[in-house]
């Protein structure tokens, strides 16, 4: 029983992955198992499609479990109680994925803003000639480059079999905050045009806001990074 809120494309899904406490006597992560279950299993229903700030191409709604019964054959993996470990493995990869998306969006925004700064003339000269506009472009470029290097490094280390729990959180935290700052500066460089839907920058500004929230908020990434650091230091 319960409701999982805000599931992307739930209305299109024929299967759900879900975590459920299978051992009520074992507190914490160890009593949780992972399942893959059909979306039409008895007791599973969907809430209404939510109206969102951005990312209008992806729809979200609640998935509601009301005395839902899931057959034991839907258990993911061979053992009960491994659900949290499974979730962590997926999240580590997911965080690197979101970080890479943030870098991609930032690079697109920087390209658009740089072109606009070179083309847009005010009082006889391109706005890109002004050092204050160049400073905004330079900040964007520097931060996006730093995030790209972080994502490449953490991904390579993960591919080599290293545990990158801390690094994937560092990437998600920095890259998602970075693309928010870049989108904000891109709107500023476009001036009034940055606030108008026709130019596209306004849409990115709204779309990137969610990156700081899903797959673990920035505060959750800070907690993971800090906790891992303190734990490793005391081992």
Ligand X SMILES: Cc1cc2nc3c(=O)[nH]c(=O)nc-3n(C[C@H](O)[C@H](O)[C@H](O)COP(=O)(O)OP(=O)(O)OC[C@H]3O[C@@H](n4cnc5c(N)ncnc54)[C@H](O)[C@@H]3O)c2cc1C
| In the complex, minimum distance from the CB of residue 54 to ligand X, in angstroms, rounded to a whole number | 8
Which residue in 72, 66, 52, 74 sits closest to 7, CA to CA?
52
Beta-strand runs (E) in the chain? 2-8, 15-21, 32-38, 44-46, 60-65, 121-122, 125-126
The rounded distance, in Å, linking the Cα atoms of 163 and 92 is 9
Considering the complex, state which of residue 29 and residue 220 has its C-beta at the smaller distance from ligand X.
Answer: 220
| In the complex, minimum distance from the CB of residue 116 to ligand X, in angstroms, rounded to a whole number | 28
The residues annotated with a catalytic role in the active site are 215
Considering the complex, state which of residue 114 and residue 166 has its C-beta at the smaller distance from ligand X.
Answer: 166
Which residue in 179, 183, 178, 189 sits closest to 136, CA to CA?
189
| In the complex, minimum distance from the CB of residue 90 to ligand X, in angstroms, rounded to a whole number | 10
Considering the complex, state which of residue 62 and residue 153 has its C-beta at the smaller distance from ligand X.
Answer: 62
Point out which residues bind ligand X (CB under 6 A): 6-8, 52, 55, 60, 210, 213-214, 216-217, 219-220, 223
Rg (CA), the chain: 22
Tokens found for residue 133: 């506009």
Considering the complex, state which of residue 12 and residue 131 has its C-beta at the smaller distance from ligand X.
Answer: 12
**DSSP category for residue 126:** E
| In the complex, minimum distance from the CB of residue 53 to ligand X, in angstroms, rounded to a whole number | 8
Residue 170 sits at φ, ψ, to 5 deg, of -60, -45
Residue 52 burial (CB < 10 Å; 0-12/13-18/19+)? middle
């Amino acid at each position: 029983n319960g409701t999982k809120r805000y599931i992307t494309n739930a209305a299109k899904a024929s299967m759900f992955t879900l975590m459920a406490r299978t051992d009520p006597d074992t507190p914490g992560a160890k009593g949780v198992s992972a399942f893959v279950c059909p979306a039409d299993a008895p007791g599973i229903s969907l809430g209404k499609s939510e109206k969102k700030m951005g990312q209008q191409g992806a729809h979200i709604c609640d998935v509601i479990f009301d005395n839902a019964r899931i057959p034991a054959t839907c258990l993911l993996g061979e053992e009960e109680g491994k659900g949290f470990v499974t979730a962590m493995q997926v999240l580590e990869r997911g965080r690197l994925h979101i970080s890479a998306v943030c870098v991609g969006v930032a690079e697109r925004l920087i390209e658009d803003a740089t072109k606009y700064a070179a083309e847009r003339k005010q009082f006889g000269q391109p706005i890109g000639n002004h050092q204050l506009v160049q400073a905004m472009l330079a900040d964007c470029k520097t931060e996006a480059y730093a995030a790209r290097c972080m994502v490449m490094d953490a991904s390579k280390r993960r591919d080599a079999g290293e545990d990158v729990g801390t690094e994937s959180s560092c990437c998600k935290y920095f890259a998602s905050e970075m693309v928010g700052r870049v989108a904000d500066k891109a709107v500023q460089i476009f001036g009034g045009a940055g606030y108008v839907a026709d130019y596209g920058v306004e849409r990115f500004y709204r779309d990137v806001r969610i990156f700081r929230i899903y797959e673990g908020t920035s505060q959750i990434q800070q907690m993971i990074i800090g906790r891992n650091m303190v734990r490793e230091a005391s081992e």
